[in-house]
Chains A and B, each alone.
Chain A
Amino acid sequence: MKQSAYILLTAFCLAFQVAVLENLRVLDSSPNLLFLVALYAALFAPRRDAVIAAWIAGIAFDIFSSGRFGVYAFLFAGLAAFLVYLRKKVFKEHPLSQAALALAGVAVVEAAAAAMVMVQYHAADGGALISGVVVTALWTAALAPFVLAGLTRLNRILGFVAEHSLANA
């Protein structure tokens, strides 16, 4: 993996997330673009780099998340570690599997982050947090095939070499 190119991509996505996507909220929720970057890394990066790449996306997301610093980095990296083992078993190039993985992944990540907030601050409005998780997951899943199709075009620039895939089998 070419670290400098990947970090630049992450920085660009973070800027887009906070400057544009946070203004396109539905029910106070916006799509999680950095999660899609982490998902892309988990599915397409070389095995040894996948978790670190997802962790970098998580750290970037944590910068503008005013909760505990490191939560998203931990969740993104944990999920990437799981997906690295799963990616041989799914048709990762298919838009439907990408959308399904994004839906499930964002739901898990956002639910875990929301649960932390609910436990830490008892006064938190549970209903709003749950609706936020659902809307964010749907929003992100809807964007996933388009964003991942765009990102896979950067494979060569990022040094993500092609590995075994069900599409090539």
Chain B
Amino acid sequence: MRKNLTTILPLAISLLLILLPPAMTGRLRMFAATPLRPVGEGRRMLAATVNSLLSSPSSEREAALVEENERLRGRIDKLRGQLSDAEDALDAYRAFRENRRRYGLSEGNVVGAAIIFKGGTGPLRRTVYIDRGSADGLSEGMPVVRGEALVGVVNAVGPAMSEVVVLGDPRLKIRAYIVSAETGNTARPSDDRAAGLLVGTRLRFIWQQVGVREGDVVLTSGYGRRFPRGLVIGHVNSLSRQRDDLHHLIEVAPAFDFEGIDRVLVLTDRPGEVRSELPTPENSRDR
């Protein structure tokens, strides 16, 4: 009897967990993952050290020169580094403030986060884990960006870390529209036929009449108020026809490099209302 129970009980508990709502189990997962946060931070530091070592000069003479140079510069270099960091941070902040104005977001309410783990386990690997959680004001569904580019959406939140589903994951469905790379305008301004639905990396339901070219830019439309309008999703990588022969089937290349991202920003504001017409760079600027 006990033997059967030790087999049946784990299977029954697993089935129960599978049936629980993902929002609830997401919090449970992130709560359980939080003790591993220091491991992620260590991995991040180690990766940064390895990268800096790999990018250093290879020949012995060059290495000796760098070493001598570092010793002589000493404190001056350190101060220069700090100054450079401060200037970079200021530039990034200025650019971000500019973007916020453009997307109609209020000041503040943005959280910067470092990526501590990249690519989860299991078949859905387009996920990253960031070192911010509910204690920092994060909640499920918040957009995650890097500069102007949309990176993904917060999927599960724990007290001190969160899971982000990254563009390319089939669970991410985004209303998007296309802007010509040459003119900066939608193929047909104010035409809903230029708006489609992005699932994974495939953009569907853009009508065949709409002129789309490889290289055209794909932006968030802002419908549904899930994302601010005008975030860059990526560009048109390839074009074909959907089975219904009425719509384009567009393969989109994301605007960011999944392997290269290290830090992201989480937009904690809810986007404002979007007018029915499709935004273009021109009318976005007017608002």
Contact = CB atoms under 8 A, between A and B. Distances in A.
Contacts of B202: 123
Contact of A66 (B17, B36, B163): B163
Contacts of A132: 123, 125
A25 B10 contact: no
A87 interface: no
B122 A70 contact: no
Given A123-B202, A124-B170, A77 B10 contact: yes
A74 B15 contact: yes
A68 B123 contact: no
Contact of A17 (B9, B32, B121, B199): B121
Interface residues of A, dominant DSSP = helix
A110 B123 contact: yes
A166 interface: no
**Interface size, A (range):** 35 or more
B124 interface: yes
A22 B121 CA distance: 8
Nearest to A114: B123
A70 B14 contact: yes
22 contacts: A11-B36, A17-B121, A18-B36, A18-B117, A22-B121, A28-B125, A48-B2, A51-B6, A55-B13, A61-B122, A62-B17, A64-B122, A66-B155, A68-B22, A69-B22, A70-B14, A71-B14, A72-B121, A74-B11, A74-B14, A123-B200, A132-B123
Contact of B10 (A51, A61, A68): A51
Contacts of A117: 123-124, 170
Contacts of A62: 17, 29, 122
B118 to A, nearest CB: 7
B129 to A, nearest CB: 8
Nearest to B29: A63
Interface string B21-55: 01001101100110110011011000100000000
B176 interface: no
Contact of B18 (A19, A66, A70, A133): A70
Given A70-B25, A77-B14, A65 B200 contact: no
A25 B170 CA distance: 20
B76 interface: no
The 6 closest A-B pairs by CB, nearest first: A70-B17, A65-B122, A74-B14, A69-B25, A55-B10, A121-B170
B123 A67 contact: yes
Nearest to B9: A52
**Contact residues on B (Cβ < 8 Å of other chain), bracket:** 35 or more
Contact of A129 (B6, B22, B123): B123
A27 to B, nearest CB: 11
Taking chain B's interface residues, is the majority helix, strand, or loop, or is none over half, making it mixed? helix
A148 interface: no
B79 interface: no
Given A48-B6, A73-B10, A124-B170, A64 B120 contact: yes
A23 interface: yes
Interface in B46-96: 47
B213 to A, nearest CB: 24
Nearest to B44: A19
B42 A19 contact: yes
Interface in A48-64: 48-49, 51-52, 54-55, 58, 61-64
B127 interface: yes
A36 interface: no
A99 to B, nearest CB: 21
Given A14-B36, A52-B6, A70-B15, 13 more contacts: A11-B35, A15-B39, A17-B121, A19-B43, A23-B43, A48-B2, A48-B3, A61-B121, A65-B120, A65-B122, A66-B122, A67-B122, A74-B11
Contacts of B10: 51-52, 54-55, 73, 77
Contacts of B17: 62, 69-70, 73
Contacts of B3: 47-48
Contacts of B118: 22-23
Nearest to A18: B117
A68 B18 contact: yes
A15 B17 CA distance: 22
B15 A64 contact: no
